[in-house]
Structure 1
């Protein structure tokens, strides 16, 4: 049975272009994702990644996930993708972040966790997907809050400290108050072992 697709409002191309230009210049942005609003940067830019850690007041031992638009991009970042990962990405009925426990490369070093782990989510949301495609690199996605504080479910709930700490705030969906929630998180072992980290 095919899942009914949600019709998404169209975004302004100038808004997208400005966000991409900011990312290419090493900046950080505040943008809507397939889950909650996120803070993002070019995931290959270590300096930009460190700016996000500083803004969130988060230890860089707590790795942040990255967004991609296409399945084949996962293969560029993980040396040996377990077969079950493809099934999980294809069959997921809600956003799902997969934490691969080893073999990560191609992103800023501080995004790679112990043993070579990396969390990756393939976004189906219109704006964040277009952002990844136009940048042609994975994009960091971390909730738009100070570490330890509640995750804002809408743009209006994002603190002034976070808003003033980024280089560009995407205009798309700022007025949208559709209930959203963080993604499901699944950890995959090298042999395809599945562990649910967040239901």
Structure 2
């Protein structure tokens, strides 16, 4: 099922996600594929659809810093950074404090989390709080910014939310912070200098 990024389409997407389905949706970087991260079976489907190695952890998207704090520990130094870059193209690896998510996502102590700067995705997240937020592609293949290309190259999802072509330089930058030192795990649309300058 393909829907538009309008009120009706967003409501349908939320319904699908909350009932264990798989959604492809636009973000501010590339098209993403996700599900309810607490749903073990749906998480397994994401790995199957992407042909992704189950040892590679899945990141999560959320609606706000306040919601993020329900599952991760955000210290004062990290709060300063997220206040500048969330919503936005910065993914941060943080200490996971939700034991249920550790089980469903097969995680140990940490999780990669982001608040995307995309109106449609944020509206979806308002209805489900958290969403697996990995790129909608086969692992090892390029990510998609064009919805038609994404539809042609991906299958077995339940709903596709068409947000048009995404104009983005790259995928999100992934960082981890240790003792107030920023380590770049993957440089994407934000450079270390931009993060430090804020």
Query: Equivalents in 2 of 1:108, 1:60: separation in Å?
Result: 14
Contact 2:93–2:111 (Cα < 8 Å) also in 1: yes
What is the Cα deviation at residue 125 of structure 1?
Answer: 1.3
| Bigger share in strand | 2
* The one of 106, 119, 131 aligned to 1:126: 119
1:139 to 120, 131, 134: 131
Spell out, residue by residue over 1:82-104, the C-alpha distance to the aligned partner (whole angstroms, 9 max, x if none).
22221111112851000115545
Please list, as runs of the form range in 1=range in 2, the aligned pairs for 1:176-187 lying within 5 A after superposition.
Answer: 176=165, 178-187=167-176
Question: Secondary structure, in 3 states, of the residue corresponding to 1:165?
Answer: coil
Task: Tell me the TM-score normalized by structure 2.
Answer: 0.83
Alpha-carbon distance, 1:12 to partner: 1.2
RMSD: 2.2
Aligned equivalent of 1:169: 160
The answer as to whether partners of 2:96 and 2:102 remain within 8 angstroms in 1 is: no
Question: Runs in 1 of length 4+ with deviation above 6 angstroms?
Answer: none
Note the residue ranges of structure 2 that are not aligned, 5 or more in a row: 188-198
Distance 1:179 1:98, change over 3 A: closer
Provide the aligned length of Structure 1 versus Structure 2: 183
Runs (5+) with no aligned partner, structure 1:
1-9
